[in-house]
Structure 1
Amino acid sequence: MAEWDQLLQGTLVQWTEKIFGGGYRPEEAVPLCGGAQKEVHRIRCSNGFNFVLYNWDVERNYFREELEREEQDSPISGFGGEAFRDASVFLNSLKVRTPELYHFEPAGATVGAAFAFVEFIEGREASDFFVAEPQLQDRIFEPLAEMVNTMHRQVRTFWGRLQESLPPALSAGCHKPMLPALHRELDYLAEGIPDIHRHAGELARVMEDLAAAIGVRPQYGFIHAELGPNHVLVDKQLRPYLIDLDGALYFDPEYEHSFLEFRFANYGRYFANSRLDPVRMAFYKLNHHLSYAAGAHRLLQRGYPDAEEVKGIMDYNRDQALRMLAEYR
């Protein structure tokens, strides 16, 4: 905490008073859960006001090694302050509820890493309400489902981040550029997890077969790209808020739905969509399980807090990938 004590006495004070005014002096910085690719702290001010500070410092990114080796060639990336800012502004224009963005400062001459001051939502994760009474669930998850549908109804003819103006190769589809990174994740898992090592060749064939069966489509919807229940905060008025918007982009909605399907216990009641492509759903589901197993394994190797929870994530996704393999034999 020494570095935060120093920050609370210096730069953070200056920025806080510049953004909010002289009566707002930061007195405490409390780290919040998550933050594998950015630092997240709740800042308490002298007048009782709280806000959240996001800091995109690559030096503190648990996936720094991959970033510096430029291995993030997958179109889905959860790192980037500018992407967060753009998504926040865009979703606000759609009336999709997200915490208010008070200020965003890009990296540059005055600051070494991009940061943002964001509204603090006093709330609970969406998963806390999975076993609530049906009427209570309806109050939370029906509006959340409409927020998701509103995002996915925003379409354009090429995939990518909001500010990307040059379309990727449309003939390839957005799933094709994911394959090199997915093979690399599989190789990484095979090195450290015996069960994956034994079945790596079969898993690779299933990935390639599914990818080859996916056809090109004419348009792509806007997705959050990591919409688990831990990225939905529910406030005291039972209003859902989407958080961690860094990876949002135009993409196949099946990428989102295949993730929602295994992260939300009530997916069938609120989010199920019969118009989705089942082949894309299967491809992205396998992608999620391999990617999240690999990411969790890396975090365990690099000293990430909450090791028990991270190991649970790794084990679950490993088991799900192997279960999918058994189904495709």
Structure 2
Amino acid sequence: MRQFADIEDLSGLVGDALGAGCHVVAVDRLRGGSKKGVYRVRLDGSHPASVIVYSWAEAENFWPGAHEADPTDPFAPASGLVPFLAAQRSLNSLGVRVPQVLLADDSRRQYPADVAVVEDASGGTLEALFETDPTRAAGALGDLAEMLEVMHRHQAQHYGRVDLLERGGSASEISCERRVLDRAMRDLEEAAGRDGRIAAAGTALCDRLQELADRVSPRAQYGLIHGELGPDHVLVDAEGHPVLIDIEGLMYFDVEWEYVFLQLRFGEWYPALARPGLDPQRLDLYMLAMRLSLVAGPLRLLDGDFPDRAFMQGIAEHNAKEALALLPLV
């Protein structure tokens, strides 16, 4: 049985962040996290009215086998206080809005895991705002497009997660497109073992991936990307400005990887984020690779005890159909 944090666990931590005078009245564990716990801590008679606590405790990570991944792989599960703070510093330096860090603690004195107390940008997600206030959402979307332009124009000559590069490491001498191809082949093998339709089309999908990869020309400049930026990973603050969250995977990489994910997640709202000059060959390869990742990943997560099972199964089902639809007609 997984044990999550409660008022008693988090009161001292929040007191360290805001001062002994704050009084915690409620703690809500927010839905959706698979690598860390996210808690809204409500306060009585003080400002702010609430804060967010991130917990990277073992019990908060629902990914089976996550600790067996190669930490130098930019696609390895990104989780922990170190990548979070490195990403926070990088985005802050560019003027990209992220939650303000009120306390970061890896001492384990107040809580038996690495934790951070951050600002609660309590305007909700951009995803929810699309439904409740499309006009306000459109304004935030325009600001988000400007943020992404700043990030993607901030380039480096090596790719990799910012926390690894910050420490002098490098992901690999392998090209981005080769890295994506190798990962897609592993995802294809894994998905084929769990989905009969993918298995039946396995040879055709493998051949298509290789064909698309062969069309990609070399590149040696990489932009700063979030890597998993859906409208659920964008909060909107009280002034209507977008705030990026779940930033631990921030990396320098081909920006086409970002735009493929944006296209999938933003749907009809994507044109506000689209930009000219993207490499169509990379887009084709990365789209098929992303679809296969979104089959294999959710099914892998379901090997464990992740609670929202129908939601993850739906993601895998949808992306299996979309991956097969990308095969050329014969």
TM-score by length of 1: 0.88
- Say if 1:134 and 1:62 are closer, same or farther in 2 by CA, change over 3 A: closer
Deviation at 1:189, TM superposition (A): 1.3
- More deviation, 247-256/260-269: 260-269
What do the CA deviations read for 1:104-162 (whole angstroms, capped 9, x no partner)? 22377886532111111212322334468875454121111001111111111111122
3-state SS in 2 of match to 1:51: strand
Match of 2:192 among 185, 190, 205: 190
Alignment partner, residue 90 of structure 1: 90
Deviation at 1:267, TM superposition (A): 4.5
Quote the Cα distance in structure 2 between the aligned partners of 1:73 and 1:294.
Answer: 21
Structure 1 spans left out of the alignment, 5+ residues: none
Alignment partner, residue 152 of structure 1: 152
Deviation at 1:240, TM superposition (A): 1.4
Quote the Cα distance in structure 1 between the aligned partners of 2:179 and 2:107.
Answer: 28
Quote the Cα distance in structure 2 between the aligned partners of 1:153 and 1:299.
Answer: 34
Alignment partner, residue 50 of structure 1: 50
Deviation at 1:100, TM superposition (A): 1.0
3-state SS in 2 of match to 1:124: coil
Deviation at 1:262, TM superposition (A): 1.7
- More deviation, 93-102/300-309: 300-309
Question: Do the aligned partners of 2:126 and 2:137 also contact (CA within 8 Å) in 1?
Answer: no
What do the CA deviations read for 1:262-293 (whole angstroms, capped 9, x no partner)? 21124553122220011111122122211122
3-state SS in 2 of match to 1:273: coil
Tell me whether 1:319 sits opposite 2:321 in the alignment: yes
The one-letter code matched in structure 2 to 1:254 is: E
Deviation at 1:13, TM superposition (A): 2.8
Alignment partner, residue 302 of structure 1: 304
Alignment partner, residue 78 of structure 1: 78
Question: Do the aligned partners of 2:233 and 2:244 also contact (CA within 8 Å) in 1?
Answer: yes
Question: Do the aligned partners of 2:155 and 2:252 also contact (CA within 8 Å) in 1?
Answer: yes
- Say if 1:134 and 1:46 are closer, same or farther in 2 by CA, change over 3 A: closer
Question: Do the aligned partners of 1:73 and 1:181 also contact (CA within 8 Å) in 2?
Answer: no
Quote the Cα distance in structure 1 between the aligned partners of 2:136 and 2:127.
Answer: 13
Deviation at 1:212, TM superposition (A): 2.8
Deviation at 1:99, TM superposition (A): 1.3
Quote the Cα distance in structure 2 between the aligned partners of 1:73 and 1:210.
Answer: 25
- Say if 1:223 and 1:189 are closer, same or farther in 2 by CA, change over 3 A: same
- More deviation, 302-311/270-279: 302-311
3-state SS in 2 of match to 1:205: helix
- More deviation, 88-97/261-270: 261-270
Match of 1:38 among 36, 39, 44: 36
Quote the Cα distance in structure 1 between the aligned partners of 2:177 and 2:85.
Answer: 25
The one-letter code matched in structure 2 to 1:127 is: E
Deviation at 1:310, TM superposition (A): 1.9
The one-letter code matched in structure 1 to 2:256 is: E
Deviation at 1:72, TM superposition (A): 6.7
Deviation at 1:60, TM superposition (A): 3.1
- Say if 1:41 and 1:110 are closer, same or farther in 2 by CA, change over 3 A: closer
Alignment partner, residue 9 of structure 1: 8
Structure 2 spans left out of the alignment, 5+ residues: none
3-state SS in 1 of match to 2:41: strand
Question: Do the aligned partners of 1:155 and 1:222 also contact (CA within 8 Å) in 2?
Answer: yes
Quote the Cα distance in structure 1 between the aligned partners of 2:13 and 2:136.
Answer: 40
Quote the Cα distance in structure 1 between the aligned partners of 2:217 and 2:198.
Answer: 29
State how 1:56-75 maps to structure 2 within 5 Å.
Answer: 56-63=56-63, 65-70=64-69, 74-75=73-74
Aligned-pair Cα RMSD in Å? 2.6
Deviation at 1:236, TM superposition (A): 4.3
Quote the Cα distance in structure 2 between the aligned partners of 1:137 and 1:280.
Answer: 30
